[in-house]
Structure formats: structure tokens, C-alpha cells
Structure 1
């Protein structure tokens, strides 16, 4: 993230990949381009639901000195409007997986929401749920209830974020389903801008990408266990297989894991957008 001026920032997505809160030593080629170009796609697709912070993804339109670095920035950078980021992450879950599944196994709830008994891992939920989380500077984000989120940022703001989160998830999940992808869950982030004395919530960061979402191939979905995916779960599975203790030093990824992860990211982009990844 680079400061451009008082009103703008420049986001640059690298090819680095993290797992279990540590950045790995191996990069995934084209990953940064997938995240940037897929976010740009979704920003353009969801303006009827909420305004967003994207200004341009064309380096030719960036202010100097950034416009002098087109080769480096092309395809993996985004000029965005500055906002005051809201201090919670907004997660929508349509399926029971990840930390939601772990919590459900303990008490039958996810973020204070009571779910039906007898659900299995990866089951589709009766309806999508809103499960906020705190933003951690280091370590894991912490899942919290709506009421806990309300104490942090106010109940009225939480209610507005919940509506936006579930509307965005419904739109994205429906589109993805038509392309053969299940969006099991996803994370949105929002900021506030004040223009002419009026506060407005806008969508920021990345949107419905393999880094912020759990993408499953619909034709391989079988409830009752982990699912194959188009996201970095493939890397996590490899790290679990080699029994990494999740502490430094971080392991290097084998060439086949890197290549397969790259292919999964690009396939997700191509399926969702009907476009080839730009250079």
C-alpha cells in the first residue's frame, strides 16, 4: 500500500502467499494479478449494491511518479479512494466450514448464532449467516457475535454492514453458482468516507477472491468433509500433510504445489469472469 495524496492510495498485490498467519517463502506466479483483476471485476459488478473505493486499475491514469512504472504495476495494482476503515471484518457463510465448523462442533453455534443440530462439515446452511470478526494486526482474527460487534462500532452500523454483507454474498454466490463454483464463505471489508458532511459506507480491500473466500467446484461437492477448492486451502493441505508446526522457519513449497495453486487461482478467475487473465 502506497500513499498517493490526501485522497488516494495505491494498492499493489504481490504473488506472496500466507498460511496460518505467516508469509511463506514461495511465491505463486500471477496470484497478485488474479486478486486485483477479480476484485476489479466484482467492484464493477456490485455498484448497484454499494459504492466502492476503486478509482482506476490503469497505470496510465495514475499520478506521477507511479505512472512511470507501468510494467511493474500493470494488472496487479489499483488506485483507490482513501477511507476510514471500519474495525471489523464482515464474513458471510453459506456453508459450514473452516472456523465455523470447528465452533459448531463445540457448541452448535457460529458467532452466537444457534444452528440446527446434526449438521455435517461442508453442509449448506438453511440460510446465509453474518459472522463478524475482529481485525488482528498480528495472529488470528477472532470471530465475534453481532452483539460484540455492536459494542465495538455501534449496533446501527453493524445492522447496515450485515445487510450489505449478505446482499453482496447473495449476489456473488448466485453468479458463481451459474459458473460452477460454490462460494462457501467470504469476507468483506468496508470503510467510511465523509463527503459534504455525510458519512457513507463503501466497499474496500479485495472482493470475492480466492484469498478472501472459500471457492469449491460445484461438480465435486459432497457434504460431510473437506472440499476440493480453488483457493489457498490447497497450500494449507500440503503444509498439514508435511506436519509443519506453523512456526518459523516457513517451508518452501514444491514446484508442483506452486504450479497447481497458480492453476487453481487462474481457473477461478477465468470461470467467474469468462475472461482470460490480463498481463
Structure 2
């Protein structure tokens, strides 16, 4: 079935990993300010859509997001979910959501030093121009979680890390502050909740929108292996001391393969990445399922 052939819905847009639909005229949702958001099995890294996809990835991420939305709603944090009653073709991976005015920024919170933040720290002693103590290494826990926003790039373009001052210019000081405070609040709650399951939430990104009343609403996916770095707590300290890369339950596994000599790909080139080998696809799916099981305490059935 193509993206434009879904009963009761008209295809609106396809991103790197999700498809969006609007209600078709005469459908049960016609006239309501909603969208159908479908998580596909596509996977992206370094701003490229990769192939092949990861089997069942869309279902895993959707179900984990719904679980987190429920946990966060109990903390008074609203989200965009309206209904999980969707066409059978996208059952488990589709969600009817409120149509929001999206905040044009990626809200990233880092609790540990790694990735692009580590590269900046090694050169300047900062992350997003935020000064950090000396002596930190890959995987070090930061003194406090930090808010490090970026732009939201269109498919094929690169996200750009920006300072909070630039975010204030883009969004206005009041909205930028609301996004920062909400992001840090969610991260602290989620990191504590994940720690209870033996998982470290190293960093994560959120997307927000504004509803008709101007309230800030959590949108998109949340706290999944695609939007977060999840590390096993067991062995974390030893890996930091030894300067080893942390094992992960997220798509960092895919990134690691892409940047390894085995892939033959240079991420600084414009060339598309090579196809993912079968063993990378299988191992990635296993990691996503393991993250779901550990965090929620139950296995995902298909």
C-alpha cells in the first residue's frame, strides 16, 4: 500500500521516518483538527534515510512513546495523542494526534557527555558554548543536565546546533524559556524512571507544539531508541574509566557501523550511505525490543 492509499485519510507529508495524513472528506475525522501520524520502519542517521528499514521499528517506537506519554501525563505533562483507533493497515504504528503549531526547534537535553557534544568539549571545553568542568571523557555524567537545542532541518539537510540565545531570537524569549524548562523537567523524570530499570538516559530530544490556547504540548515521538541514547547502567563506570564506547540500546549501533571501516562510507561526503547488512538490521531490532522490555517491564507482542 502506498502512502496515498489509506482508507479515510489523505497523504499529507512523508518525512525521514514518518508519514502524515489528514482526514479525507466525509471520513469520521473530517472537520476535526487532527492528523494521522504513522511511524514506518524506515531509519535515519546523519540526516540520511537508510535502507533497508528495521522490521517492526515503527510499532516498537509508537508503543514505547505511548507508554512514556502515559507516564508523563501522570506528571501533568500534556501530549498530542487523541486516539489509537486507526486503520488496520497501520495498527500499532499509527496514532491520531492533535494538529499543532509546531515549535521550529529540536529540544535536546544531555545528561552525559558523548556524540557531537564530546567533540566540541574536546576542542573548546564547552557543549553548545556552555562551559563544563575539565577532565571529562566519553560517557562522563555532567554535573547537571544541559539544554542544547538545534534547528529542525528538512529531509536531506543537516540540523544545526544553536545556542540558547539564538533560540530566544528564533522563538522569542518567553517561548524559548518554556521549551527549556519543559525539556529539563521531562528529562529529569525520565532519567530517574529509566534508572529504576537499569538504563541510563544519556541524552534525548523532544519536539513540542502549541495548541489553540497557546499551551505547550509534547508531540512527535518521545524517549525512544530513535530519539534518545540508552545505555546499560551496569558497566557504565568501567567503560568511562577505560575510555571505551558505551554499549547502547538505540540507533547509535547503526551510527557506529556507518562510521566504521566496514561500511566504506564517509559521513562528510554527500554520497548516500550503503545498505545496512542483515546482521546490523537484526541486531538493531533486537536492541530496540530490549529497550522496550527493560523500560516498560513487559515484552512487546506482535
TM norm structure 2: 0.85
Match of 2:93 among 70, 76, 101: 76
Verify: 1:255 aligned to 2:278, yes or no: yes
Alignment coverage as a number of residue pairs: 266
Q: CA deviation at 1:236?
A: 1.5
- The question of whether the paired residues in 2 share the 8 Å contact of 1:149 and 1:158 is answered with yes
Match of 2:139 among 119, 122, 126: 122
Structure 2 distance, partners of 1:115, 1:250, is: 34
Verify: 1:41 aligned to 2:67, yes or no: yes
Other-structure match for 1:10 = 36
Give the secondary-structure state (helix, strand or coil) at the position aligned to 1:93.
strand
Q: Cα RMSD between the aligned structures?
A: 1.3
Structure 2 distance, partners of 1:176, 1:249, is: 35
What does 1:82-231 align with in structure 2 at a 5 Å threshold?
82-137=99-154, 138-194=156-212, 198-221=213-236, 222-223=239-240, 224-231=243-250
Give the secondary-structure state (helix, strand or coil) at the position aligned to 1:75.
coil
Q: CA deviation at 1:249?
A: 4.2
- The question of whether the paired residues in 1 share the 8 Å contact of 2:48 and 2:272 is answered with no
Q: CA deviation at 1:3?
A: 1.1
- The question of whether the paired residues in 1 share the 8 Å contact of 2:84 and 2:94 is answered with yes
Structure with the bigger RCO (C-alpha within 8 Å, sep 6+) is 1
Structure 1 distance, partners of 2:222, 2:76, is: 13
Q: CA deviation at 1:110?
A: 1.1
Structure 2 distance, partners of 1:145, 1:22, is: 24
Gaps of 5+ in 2: 1-19, 24-29
Structure 2 distance, partners of 1:264, 1:184, is: 16
Give the secondary-structure state (helix, strand or coil) at the position aligned to 1:101.
helix
Structure 2 distance, partners of 1:21, 1:89, is: 14
Other-structure match for 2:293 = 270
Structure 2 distance, partners of 1:245, 1:143, is: 21
Structure 2 distance, partners of 1:250, 1:87, is: 27
- The question of whether the paired residues in 2 share the 8 Å contact of 1:120 and 1:225 is answered with no
Gaps of 5+ in 1: 60-66
Structure 2 distance, partners of 1:80, 1:260, is: 31
Verify: 1:237 aligned to 2:256, yes or no: yes
TM norm structure 1: 0.92
Other-structure match for 2:80 = 53
Q: CA deviation at 1:114?
A: 0.8
Q: CA deviation at 1:245?
A: 2.1
Query: Does the C-alpha gap of structure 1 residues 22 and 245 become closer, same or farther in structure 2, counting only changes over 3 Å?
Result: same
Give the secondary-structure state (helix, strand or coil) at the position aligned to 1:208.
coil
Structure 2 distance, partners of 1:36, 1:260, is: 19
Other-structure match for 2:27 = none
Q: CA deviation at 1:99?
A: 1.0
- The question of whether the paired residues in 2 share the 8 Å contact of 1:75 and 1:278 is answered with no
Other-structure match for 2:7 = none
Give the secondary-structure state (helix, strand or coil) at the position aligned to 1:173.
helix
Structure 2 distance, partners of 1:266, 1:25, is: 19
